[in-house]
A and B are shown apart, each in its own frame.
Chain A
Amino acid sequence: MSNSETVTADDPGVLERRREDLNRVVYRFKQNPMSILGLCIIFGFVFIAIFAPYIAPYPNDAGYQNQPAVHFDQKFESPSAEHLFGTDQAGRDIFSRVLFGTRLSLRIGVVVLAAAVSIGVPVGLVAGYLGGGVGMALMRITDVFLSVPPLVLALAVSVALEPNLTNVMLAIAAVWWPWYARLTYGEVLSVKEETYVEASRGIGATSTRTIFREILPNVLAPITVKMSLDMGYAILVAASLGFLGLGAQPPTPEWGTMVSQGRDYMPAQWWYSTFPGLAIFLIVLGFNFLGDGLRDMFDVEVQ
């Protein structure tokens, strides 16, 4: 990639230039109202995740502090001032459960991407740096993973691992890393073309040093952008798995599971599926807005 300039830390103008870069970048970000909106949505969800116990009217309905509550005598109440999103089959407040569900979704997104990046990036770096047969072989392996839709493979992997929440996260990460491997691989190849890598080799830099000093910084921008775009998508895949019956154990609220459970009570208890689904939609939308803004800001292309 592309537009970053070739600098070394010894260059006296470098700090200043970096500051200018940053200003330009922030300016670009601000120019894009959707990315601001995205940022607001994400901050909103993070806020909700942190302060859920204070915002939620019935935190115990969401299993807060291991003191889960049920009120079977209040089951299926329609939305009202008391229960903004209505109640479910155990009489629990769906609004509180949706709020607490934010915690789980964010956690899944972060864990999945952290795992995917920490596998994918090194694989891509190695494949790209070594090139040749090893590189090709590694990339062929990623092709295998990419030839099946992530949801399908994640479904198979999580069943093979015994379906619990940790394994669901592992499964999604297991099908996700190839994207990062490919992205990194592509970046490494293009950086390698550029002469400064050759130059640094010329002055005796080791290969590790080359990777960390020259190549890694260049792949950071596209990876950041891809991560923010993928965050929403990973949450979506996790919710889909929850929808299919693989997800958090009760009474932990999980949005996909709630949508799925509510489906049995449609159309009369329409609120049960509707509100958790809305939450998934909003959080994914937020990450998409944000990722798009970041993409413009760094001016990188990622799939």
Chain B
Amino acid sequence: MGHRNYLIKRGLSTIPMFVGLSVLIFTLARVIPGRPARLALGPRASDEAVQNLREQMGLDKPLWEQYFDYVGGVIQGDLGQSLISNRNVATDLMEYFPATFELTTLAMIIAVFVGVPLGVVAGQHKDRWPDNASRLFSFFNVSLPPFWAGILLQLVIAFQLGWLPATGRVGDVSPMPIETTGLLLVDSLLAFNVPAFVSATQHLILPAITLSLAPIADIARMTRSSFIEEYDKDYVEGLRTHGIPERLIAYKYVLRRSFASSLTIIGLDYGFLLGSAFVVEIVFSWPGMASYGVEAILQKDINAMVGVTLVVGASFLLVNFAVDVLYGVFDPRVWHDGDSQ
């Protein structure tokens, strides 16, 4: 129950953070030079038309009033009109978010399934060649600019070898599965649409690998160090004397106990992963929220810009909250020592 109280407290503390974020980004969007109303109407619009649109958008009101109007709208699910798509930003985000969610989730899954075993192997062979190799590999991964790594994968795997498509989210598949979740992999499975599933998977692989590179490294390093700490403990020797196989000791006992600290890094990495998505989606023409966000920001589509940033911030806060919850599952100690985190 210590943990539960902690979670409640933690959950509540994200609220002011979120409010702060919305104020920050809202203000940024409003001080952008190059009047958004003119952008929406095109270069030959008359000054009068621009002024009318400004009034419609409420851009002539004081900033705080605009902010409260906006918050009022957000509560009703209205994120304002996008100047680019002529739709409510909420509608746009509903369309683009699933693609980003699918991509980042798969990337995180790859990162965990590669990073954790890598960390365990490195931990088991501390300071010997597997450890050094894993360390070097991690250094390479975190140093790779994600956009460049993506381009190299495209050059080699897509263009040179022709194994996988270079860009896009799905190939020329007909019929497309009906959209229920917006996650193509899920939708195509629900519809038993094998061609769509295969195509969607092929398109996902390169961008997901690109995104997973840095988290793989972080997770491997974190797993290694917490694994080593746990591996040195007396009970491990005890397990050995009972003849339990080393593999089992490593993965069943030690890893389970040390996994909690890897979880924290997964939460943090999710934020970085969302950030990298802003360049990786561009490289792979991935029709997701991040590429929508880049366009929104660069084109000064102010409502879209605020909307995307808030969703990114909210996802990051949510993931970290989820990590805190899971933390309790993996590490019962926090139930008694909740606030130490």
Cβ–Cβ contact B283 & A148, under 8 A: no
Cβ–Cβ contact B145 & A280, under 8 A: yes
Contact A152/B274 with A162-B33, A244-B298, A274-B155 known, Cβ cut-off 8 Å? yes
Shortest Cβ gap from B265 to chain A (Å): 9
B325 contacts the other chain (CB 8 A): no
Shortest Cβ gap from A190 to chain B (Å): 14
Question: How many interface residues does A have (CB within 8 Å)?
Answer: 46
Cβ–Cβ contact B24 & A155, under 8 A: no
Cβ–Cβ contact B21 & A147, under 8 A: yes
Residues of chain A lying within 8 A (CB to CB) of residue B313: 147-148
The chain B residue sitting closest to A235, CB to CB, is B145
| Chain B at the A interface: SS class | helix
Cβ–Cβ contact B144 & A281, under 8 A: yes
A141 contacts the other chain (CB 8 A): yes
CA distance A273 to B17 in the complex (A): 39
Shortest Cβ gap from A151 to chain B (Å): 4
B113 contacts the other chain (CB 8 A): no
* Interface set, chain A 149-169, CB cutoff 8 A to B: 149-153, 155-157, 159-160, 162
B144, B159, B275, B316 — which one has the most chain A CB atoms within 10 A of its CB? B275
Residues of chain B lying within 8 A (CB to CB) of residue A180: none
Contact A156/B297 with A259-B148, A270-B155 known, Cβ cut-off 8 Å? yes
CA distance A145 to B275 in the complex (A): 13
Cβ–Cβ contact B316 & A267, under 8 A: no
Cβ–Cβ contact B17 & A155, under 8 A: no
* Interface set, chain A 222-281, CB cutoff 8 A to B: 232, 236, 239-240, 243-246, 256, 259-260, 263, 266-267, 270, 273-274, 277-278, 280-281
Query: 16 extra interchain contacts, Cβ-Cβ under 8 A, other than A147-B316, A280-B145?
Result: A140-B17, A140-B20, A143-B17, A147-B271, A148-B309, A148-B312, A151-B276, A152-B293, A159-B32, A236-B145, A239-B145, A240-B147, A244-B298, A281-B144, A284-B144, A285-B139
Provide 11 A-B residue pairs closer than 8 Å at the C-beta atoms, listed in order of the A residue: A140-B20, A141-B20, A145-B24, A148-B271, A152-B312, A156-B29, A160-B31, A259-B148, A274-B151, A285-B139, A292-B139
Interface residues of chain A, those whose CB is within 8 Å of chain B, are: 34, 140-141, 143-145, 147-153, 155-157, 159-160, 162, 232, 236, 239-240, 243-246, 256, 259-260, 263, 266-267, 270, 273-274, 277-278, 280-281, 284-285, 288-289, 292, 303
